[in-house]
Chain A
Amino acid sequence: GENVEQHPSTLSVQEGDSAVIKCTYSDSASNYFPWYKQELGKGPQLIIDIRSNVGEKKDQRIAVTLNKTAKHFSLHITETQPEDSAVYFCAASKGFKTIFGAGTRLFVKA
């Protein structure tokens, strides 16, 4: 089955710096790659997603890149703010199954 690996597990940055989270997936048939943000005590919420026919997508300070050949995808957050502190999950989806990575806890220090 699909396996998604996510790194790093913890990331600490200064406010204003950039943060990068990387994921790899195993099933080359996966065709949809969402990123979710989870704040304390809440369920995850989608922040950005990318389909397999697109190499990069950007939404304000957040961007995602996808390398299908290497089966890698990454989340980039620029100009980080304290409210970006949360747990971030990458995921790979094929059909009706969405498989998540283990999560990255991001700390943004003011």
Chain B
Amino acid sequence: NAGVTQTPKFQVLKTGQSMTLQCAQDMNHEYMSWYRQDPGMGLRLIHYSVGAGITDQGEVPNGYNVSRSTTEDFPLRLLSAAPSQTSVYFCASRVGRGLTHSGANVLTFGAGSRLTVL
């Protein structure tokens, strides 16, 4: 299994440009999420989804849009990139339902997408 696949691995944008970070998982996980990782700040939750058509905000949602049209895909959109959005972005998924059984809460992360906004 491929697990969680993120594209692109690296991207450089100019301020004001838009782009979409792609995330796909092949584990039939209902739950998917996006985090950003910044030095000294750990991983901060941007948006998450508990199933197709359902999304919700995390800790730092401003400046980002998401949608979930299929179980497999959860793209993250930056409509007008700002230098403050320079970061490494991680997509993560988990089973979602049956949260009490072993392994249900375990997040599987992608390899990350490094974004630089000039």
Which of A's residues lie within 8 Å of B, judged by CB? 1, 4, 6, 9, 32, 34, 36, 41-46, 49, 89, 93, 95-103
Question: How large, as a class, is the contact surface on chain B?
Answer: 20 to 34
Pick from A9, A34, A95, A99 the residue with the most CB of B within 10 Å.
Answer: A99
Give the secondary structure class of A's interface.
strand
Distance in angstroms from B37 CB to nearest chain A CB is 9
CB atoms of B110 and A43 under 8 A apart:
yes
Tell me which residues from 89 to 118 in chain B have a Cβ below 8 Å from any Cβ of chain A. 90, 92, 96, 99, 105-107, 109-112
Question: A19–B35 Cα gap in the complex (Å)?
Answer: 27
Question: A103–B40 Cα gap in the complex (Å)?
Answer: 7
Of A9, A43, A99, the residue contacting B40 (CB under 8 A) is: A9
Q: Which residues of A contact B43 (CB under 8 A)?
A: 44, 89, 100, 103
Pick from B40, B105, B110 the residue with the most CB of A within 10 Å.
Answer: B105
Answer whether A99 and B45 are a contact pair too, CB < 8 Å, given A43-B90, A44-B90.
yes
User: Interface readout for B4-42 with A: 1 if CB under 8 Å, 0 if not?
Assistant: 100000000000000000000000000101010000111
Question: A95–B48 Cα gap in the complex (Å)?
Answer: 12
Question: A93–B48 Cα gap in the complex (Å)?
Answer: 14
